[in-house]
């Protein structure tokens, strides 16, 4: 994906999402909207959801001259439960998919994906031996305790199994190497398409 965002973060690219002019695309946990803005510049309808009003305000400020974004402040599960639209692709870059129980989230995403639609997400690979729901500590200021949030970490074969169990087909999951530079941790990239339910 062409880098519109100032923060380099490995992400599902437009080719992985199959985005083209007229596609409807949803990002779960869009943050400041760099990835979503890129999707919009490809001619897709770009819908973003994020819990954080501050992030969404920053997205509006950054991209209002560049790209038309539909931004919603909501928890990803709540948004999916109330949304009546369907999407050609749903994606998440170190976003809400990482921070939501897949057992609840994947059925909700399925409800909003068109047949053959794509789900793709990226996140940090699991720490060896630490699988399932993990506590994640997010540093704030020096004066504040870190924020503790839950995140869901699995190895690639487990992700493909979970996706299959929730009716997704052609699931792939791989750890991409870190780009050249100081960062040593790769990126887990997961992709699947919406198939018939198997549950």
Ligand X SMILES: C[S@@+](CC[C@H](N)C(=O)[O-])C[C@H]1O[C@@H](n2cnc3c(N)ncnc32)[C@H](O)[C@@H]1O
With 0-12 / 13-18 / 19 or more C-beta atoms within 10 angstroms meaning exposed / middle / buried, residue 23 is buried
Question: How far is Cα 129 from Cα 51, in angstroms, rounded to an integer?
Answer: 30
Q: Measured from the CB of residue 147, what is the shortest distance to ligand X in angstroms?
A: 11
Query: To which residue do tokens 């839950």 refer?
Result: 150
Smaller CB distance to ligand X: residue 127 or 147? 147
Smaller CB distance to ligand X: residue 87 or 94? 94
CA dihedral for 20, 22, 28, 32, sign (positive or negative): positive
Q: Measured from the CB of residue 169, what is the shortest distance to ligand X in angstroms?
A: 25
Q: Measured from the CB of residue 186, what is the shortest distance to ligand X in angstroms?
A: 16
Smaller CB distance to ligand X: residue 129 or 181? 181
Q: Measured from the CB of residue 35, what is the shortest distance to ligand X in angstroms?
A: 6
Smaller CB distance to ligand X: residue 50 or 153? 50
| Residue closest to ligand X (Cβ) | 31
> Are 125 and 186 within 8 A, CB to CB?
yes
Q: Measured from the CB of residue 82, what is the shortest distance to ligand X in angstroms?
A: 13
Q: Measured from the CB of residue 6, what is the shortest distance to ligand X in angstroms?
A: 10
Smaller CB distance to ligand X: residue 176 or 197? 176
60 φ/ψ angles, rounded to the nearest 5 degrees: -60, -45
CA distances from 134 to 38, 88, 142, 151 (A): 31, 30, 23, 5
Which residues contact ligand X by CB under 6 A?
7, 9, 29-32, 34-35, 49-52, 55, 75-76, 93-96, 99-100
Residues 6+ apart with CB under 8 A from 15: none
Nearest residue to 91 via CA among 17, 178, 157, 37: 17
Question: How far is Cα 59 from Cα 52, in angstroms, rounded to an integer?
Answer: 11
Query: To which residue do tokens 């309808």 refer?
Result: 45
Smaller CB distance to ligand X: residue 70 or 75? 75
């Amino acid at each position: 994906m062409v880098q519109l965002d100032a923060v380099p973060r490995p992400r599902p690219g437009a080719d992985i999402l199959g985005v083209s002019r007229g596609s409807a695309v949803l990002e779960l946990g869009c943050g400041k909207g760099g990835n979503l803005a890129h999707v919009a510049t490809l001619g897709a309808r770009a819908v973003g959801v994020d819990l954080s009003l501050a992030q969404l305000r920053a997205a509006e400020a950054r991209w209002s001259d560049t790209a038309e974004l539909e931004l919603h402040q909501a928890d990803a599960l709540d948004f999916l439960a109330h949304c009546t639209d369907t999407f050609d692709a749903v994606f998440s870059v170190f976003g809400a998919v990482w921070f939501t129980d897949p057992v609840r989230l994947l059925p909700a995403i399925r409800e909003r994906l068109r047949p053959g639609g794509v789900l793709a997400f990226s996140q940090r690979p699991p720490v060896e031996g630490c699988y399932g729901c993990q506590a994640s500590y997010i540093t704030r200021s020096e004066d504040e305790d870190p924020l503790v949030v839950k995140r869901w970490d699995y190895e690639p074969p487990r992700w493909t199994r979970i996706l299959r169990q929730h009716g997704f087909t052609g699931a792939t999951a791989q750890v991409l190497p870190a780009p050249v530079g100081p960062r040593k941790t790769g990126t887990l990239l997961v992709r699947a398409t919406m198939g018939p339910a198997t549950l």
